[in-house]
Structure 1
Amino acid sequence: MSGRDVRPATQMQAVVGLDPQVAEALRARLAEVADRVVLTIIDEVPSYAGAFSGRMGEVIRNAVQLALGGFLTLATRQDGKAPPKAPAIEGAYQLGRGEARSGRTVEALLAAYRVGARVSWRDMADAAVEAGIGAEQLARFAELVFAYIDELSASSVAGHTDELESSGRVRQRNLERLARALLTGAPADAVNAAAERADWEPPGALTAVVLPESQVSHALTALDQRTLQPTDDVAGLPEGHALLLMPGTGSAGSRPTLLRALRGTDAVVGPGVPWLEAAASYRRALRCAALGVDGLVDSDEHLASLVLAADASARDDLRARVLAPLADLRPATAEKLTDTLRSWLLNHGRRDAVAEELFVHAQTVRYRVGQLREIYGDRLEDPAFVLDATLALA
């Protein structure tokens, strides 16, 4: 049998050696018993309602008949040597795989086996008694029935488990390929094809979340189940951190919900973007993480800092040009005038606000602004210079 080894709870030890007339009576009833098993499963196990129409129904019917035929062959042996059980065991294994692909749970599968065991035993025991089976032989017959069903069900469970593990691995690989396609900017048709292969329904928007690996499990419990978690090497991701691509937050109303779900983490949340543009959200989350802000960080609240940090060397050059007129002053004086110029620009020239921010008297502000006017002249009224100075000193 393919798949894992099966070790049923009950090993078949009983030797029945059915009398020929009893075996013939049972064989004549096999098709009838198989049909009754199928009908009773449909009636008593809700997951199987409508399951016996189409190809999968034929597979299940064939598996029932194969199992019953294999059992009867086993029960009629006279020498105690069990005939090969491989066809029935392999059939049960493949049945389990098929049931997993059909979406039925292992609990539903075992329930079907319990029903099948009960109906098979009742009908076959009735037929055996009518054919004159002895009491001792009937007891061994019962033992063999339930040991055989136990082995078949164990084989089906193994098939069901193997199929889930196999399909889960395949889907995970497809989800990895989808995430890689999104992050590397693959063409839209390639990304859509990857989403289809992964059986992943694209949302309207995706939001990149960068957080420590140790906090991923906590975050995933509160996030959309379609959240992508690339585990392959992700370019630019800091050591010890993970990336999640979470569906949603394309609207302002849903963003607070996401932030509440991530409360208690050190996540950096990128912007919500159209799902095919997820790489842009990831890039911004990375830039925001580089700002060094502690705790939960919403990149939407740090847009100005992100703009100012976009080209650090250009900002340094701009700052040097704006402050060049102060270069010949004593360092302490230059520092005080720099602080005053910054506050004066950001507070729109409101002297009291500047004084409060710098913890100095309003007259001191007046004096320093006078010094700045002497040094910079009309440039303090030039919108282009005001813009440059604001960006350089912000």
Structure 2
Amino acid sequence: MTTARTTTRTARPRPAGEQDHRRLATAARARLPELVRAAVGAITGGVGPVDAPAVTAVEAAVLAGIDAVFADAPTPAAARAVLKGVGAQERRAGRGLERVESAARLASRAVWRRLTAIAGELRVPPVVMVSTVDALFAFTDDLVDAAREGHDSVTEPSDPRRAELLALLVTPGPVSDLERRAADARWPLPERVVAVVSDLPFRVEPGELDPRILANTDRETTCLLVPADVELPQELAQELARGRDTRFAAGLPMPVAEAHRSVEYGRRLLDLVERGSLPPARLTRGCDHLVTLLTAADGGLLRWIREDNLGPLAQLSEGRRAKLLTTLALWLRHDGDAREVAKRVQLHPQSVRYRVQQVKDLLGDQALEGEKRFLLQLALCTRTRGR
């Protein structure tokens, strides 16, 4: 859904120190293998092994960079074509551009370090290096833009295997041969996924989303699966809504084989929004509303916990009960720090201790210890949320 940048940067201003500039350029071309080794080593260490075709591409990019940086020339069309091809290849393999972008940045920094060392040997003035580094990183940006153009240019046909895999994963039940099915669907298998569900059907066009997102592009759908490590921006939901009043919810991250559980949490979030228990939003994220999800899981059990742990306070007047509950909640939150609680309720610390003792007298001395303490906190938390 990104817009390709089709313009190529124009020639950079020629740096100061013309003679030193030419000496550095000549030395860089003469030591091209050294620069390539540095770039490949950086990519291998930061991204992963580099195969022979990739080494050839790196060598071409480094040579093109020397020409562009030291000859005041635009990024060569041939170099852009190579990177466009790399971007397209990544898209066809079902990957985003993260690896390409990381490789380009790592290689650029490695080449810069080697150029700095060469400049030191030649005693090239720092002013020349300042303009050189600006040009080098501008060239790197050009290559990344070219890769992005290639990535965005690939229009993938609808693949029924991805739709079949999505349907299988969002349905409760065992999933057999998951790795093989994911490979057949050209879906890079993540460790965990987040289900994004909607209250109205929406359409995903082939090639519209990051290929790491599993979606049905054959027909309208109400669910897609997003790897847990992929950022899910609000703008995605806005764009998928196509101007309609569609609401989306992102369930909790789950192992891929349990993706249906993330779907269930997403549906529960939409229901909570519909009932007014959560504020309306284009995209509601489960990780932002864990307590609400918990308290909605079993209302009957939570009511019993509240009655069992707070029931003795029902005999008090409403005003006195409210004061004790407020003090108790703060006491638990601040681990019994009477001075901190006193600041919050504008009382003397001794008055806070007196109120807490009243609670103990009503609920029992063990009410603030161990499991009883946890249940008491749960009862107070769900009470303040109107559960």
Query: TM-score per shorter chain, which class?
Result: 0.3 to 0.5
Name the TM-score, length of structure 2 as normaliser.
0.45
Name the TM-score, length of structure 1 as normaliser.
0.44
- Bigger radius of gyration, 1 or 2? 1
